[in-house]
Structure 1
Amino acid sequence: MTPVRDHPAFRRFYGNAMLLALSVITIGIALRQIDRFHFARRRPHTADASELIALQRTRANTLTPLLLLTGQWVQIAGWWMLSADGPLFATIAAAAVAVHFRHLQEISHFAVHGVLARTSRANHILAEVFAHHPLALGPVPVRRRRHVRDHHPNATLASDPNLAELRQAGLRPGTTGLKYAATLIHPLTPRGIRTTVTGLVGGMHGPGTWHRTAALGIVAGTAYLAGGWSALTYGVLIPRLLLYPQLAWMSLLVEHTWFDPDHRTGTAAWTEAGRCLRLYPRNRALALLAAATWLPYGDLHHYAHSAHPSVRWNYLPTLEAHLAPPHFTPDGLLIGTTTVARRHHHALNQPTKQITRPAAV
């Protein structure tokens, strides 16, 4: 089967394949902005959660989220087409598609919380069709139970499934040196790749196995038609098996002070301020870069989200301006005077207190 961009009829009608690919990417970007502009209208600079929830309810709909998710896949298709224009474009496409996969994960995360679209059914269908099925993320109800019921109330506690995931990857007391460095790039290690593949296989099982498997086939077939083997390799396999898991892993690392939280009781904001962090609070350029790539759709504002999970990502910066800052505001994940990696390392390697027994009399 000849990829569409290499078909003689395609070249006769469109001529410049690169120009068409860039046009497709531009269309995808434009589709995504419709949802953004719809929810941004007359957004206050600072407000409490109740005011913001009331505002987002008046604007809740199903059309703009549908266009947002469609725009993500239109852009992905454009990158698939562009990946066939040589090694440089293939490499760029691999990074770009990984970022889009990460975006789809975060958008579906808000669907799991029920604030992407107007109804529960619409949230479920959009998350399954545009993210969980094509990325083999498993059934939405399983993710909802694991994330909303098991993680949110128990973040950083022993029963938190996310903390268990970090432990399984090697982030345990006493981990140091090269072993600790390897945990920071866990999805790129042989052990991490095995974990990713196991998760992919598991994501295709359960209710609707046949159409979950078919969804992967549709993604692979469409990628090949758009850009041939280059698109299949650099636009599907490398992003899904290596790059996107690494971006998601980095996001997980910066969600909480996992190993030394300040356990508090009181209001939701006060409690979450003791176990959350806010990355890049003083560097707007790095904050914007992170929000556009590996911490998209409100993930940079995870503290505000943890305090009030029912607030849509569009309003998290407004909510954050209303809240007192969390107890840890690092300069970066790896680089900076105060980093997340350094804090995790220190927390995992604090000397244990020795209990001295009184001498027998």
Structure 2
Amino acid sequence: MITYLGIIAVGMIVRQVDRWQFSPNRGRHRPGTLREVMSLQRERINNVTPLLLLAGHWVELAGWCLIAAETGPWGWAAAAMAGAVKMRHLQEVSHFAVHGVLTRSSRLGTVLSEVAVHLPLGFVPVPIRRQRHVREHHPNATVVGLDPNLGDLHQAGLLPGVRRLRFALALVFPLTPAGFAFTMHSIAANLRTSAAPWWRLAALLAVPAVLGWTVGWPAAVAVFVVPRLLLYPQLSWMSLLVEHTWFDAETVTGPPAAVEAARCLRLYPQNLPLALVARATWLPYGDLFHYAHSAHPSVRWNYLPALERHLTPPHFTPDGLAFGPNTVARRHHGALDALADTGRQPLPGSAEAPEPGAVPDTRTWLVRK
């Protein structure tokens, strides 16, 4: 067991090389303005440390596989949660490759994301993700009929007038039978977006097959299959829920910061312990700072906290996701009730209201970033 924990520690140490390289605290002057941040980012961006970053996550996954292979149900459960967290980390790292700021070479960033994230996890090809996220979601966030993520939320049942039980189930949609079926359909649709879907399917199946052959099927199921099909989708879904005030965002014009302040939110602004837990698990690599990212999408995650300090806070700063008076869930439910009272409904044929029985090409919240 000590050896396996040591392997996980090695993976974590390897990842720190990239963090040290881009640390805003390294050097005599800490960047604060956008110009200073972009200058420092251009100076430090490289093609080596991102490779170490991705490799470190996979080394950690290997360590958890070895732990799962040597333990019983409690070890499997811990390894499954760790596997889901690692998949969220990989998703978010590749998100910045989609924006072209992971590596100095954008082409290398695409290759690394394909090999280390998209292929083994069954995501769409990186260019398609870039089209949907950068060109469709970012400029149209919360806009009816244009933002694909808003359509995903409605597909899960978050519609005007939704009843409390249906709303509660929508918060854990990936864990429901309907959500699980949709995840399976979405993975199949992701594979079909490629000109050669058979080798993307082979890459997806190769990971659990290799794990099962080398360390045993309990490890493959606990660390890869269950996280990929159930736990990781739930973490990604929770992340999507806390990105925007989806159903009552204000429409404003002006500079990017003003536009995003009117439709973004900032979770845990006054709760450092919960913020640290979120950054380490389900809101990693700048996801907690989605408002700053939306305002400055070309900035690497390392510098988003520094930029956030110079931005006017967004219009909604909740204390939590689901429990308490000032939460994201309460805000979303209240907004949907208000839409029902005004008689507004999703537009037929729009991204908000898919045709009955239709399955989208991909589930954007699984690879939205």
TM-score by length of 2: 0.89
What pairs with 1:175-254 in structure 2 (closer than 5 Å)? 175-205=162-192, 206-254=194-242
Does structure 2 conserve the Cα–Cα contact (< 8 Å) formed by 1:46 and 1:321?
no
- Measure, in 2, the Cα distance between the counterparts of 1:279 and 1:113: 23
User: How far did residue 217 of structure 1 move?
Assistant: 2.8
Residue 278, structure 1, aligned to residue 278, structure 2: no
Q: Which runs of 5+ in 2 are unaligned?
A: 344-369
Q: Is the deviation greater in 167-176 or in 249-258?
A: 167-176
Q: 2:119 aligns with which of 102, 127, 133?
A: 133
Counterpart of 1:166 in structure 2 is 153
- Measure, in 2, the Cα distance between the counterparts of 1:122 and 1:208: 21
Change (3 A) 1:44 1:222: farther
- Measure, in 2, the Cα distance between the counterparts of 1:44 and 1:168: 47
Residue 288, structure 1, aligned to residue 276, structure 2: yes
Change (3 A) 1:335 1:311: same
Give aligned pairs, total: 337
Q: Is the deviation greater in 280-289 or in 199-208?
A: 199-208
Residue 149, structure 1, aligned to residue 135, structure 2: yes
What pairs with 1:22-61 in structure 2 (closer than 5 Å)? 22-40=5-23, 41-42=26-27, 47-61=32-46
How big is each residue's C-alpha offset from its partner over 1:92-118, in whole Å with a ceiling of 9 and x where there is no partner? 000000000011010111000000011
User: How far did residue 353 of structure 1 move?
Assistant: 4.2
User: How far did residue 125 of structure 1 move?
Assistant: 0.3
Q: Is the deviation greater in 194-203 or in 107-116?
A: 194-203
Counterpart of 2:63 in structure 1 is 78
Counterpart of 2:362 in structure 1 is none
User: How far did residue 226 of structure 1 move?
Assistant: 4.5
User: How far did residue 45 of structure 1 move?
Assistant: 5.1
Q: Which residue type is aligned with residue 329 of structure 1? A: T
Does structure 2 conserve the Cα–Cα contact (< 8 Å) formed by 1:83 and 1:89?
yes
Q: Which residue type is aligned with residue 30 of structure 1? A: I
- Measure, in 1, the Cα distance between the counterparts of 2:106 and 2:11: 26
What pairs with 1:332-347 in structure 2 (closer than 5 Å)? 332-347=320-335
Q: Which runs of 5+ in 1 are unaligned?
A: 1-17, 355-361
SS in 1 for 2:216: helix
- Measure, in 2, the Cα distance between the counterparts of 1:261 and 1:44: 37
User: How far did residue 119 of structure 1 move?
Assistant: 1.1
User: How far did residue 44 of structure 1 move?
Assistant: 5.5
Moved beyond 6 Å, runs of 4+: none
User: How far did residue 220 of structure 1 move?
Assistant: 1.0
How big is each residue's C-alpha offset from its partner over 1:132-170, in whole Å with a ceiling of 9 and x where there is no partner? 000001111111000000000000001110001111111
Structure of greater relative contact order (alpha carbons < 8 Å, 6+ residues apart): 2
TM-score by length of 1: 0.91
Calculate the aligned-residue CA RMSD, in Å: 1.3
- Measure, in 1, the Cα distance between the counterparts of 2:32 and 2:73: 48
Does structure 2 conserve the Cα–Cα contact (< 8 Å) formed by 1:79 and 1:93?
yes
Q: Is the deviation greater in 203-212 or in 175-184?
A: 203-212
Q: Which residue type is aligned with residue 129 of structure 2? A: R
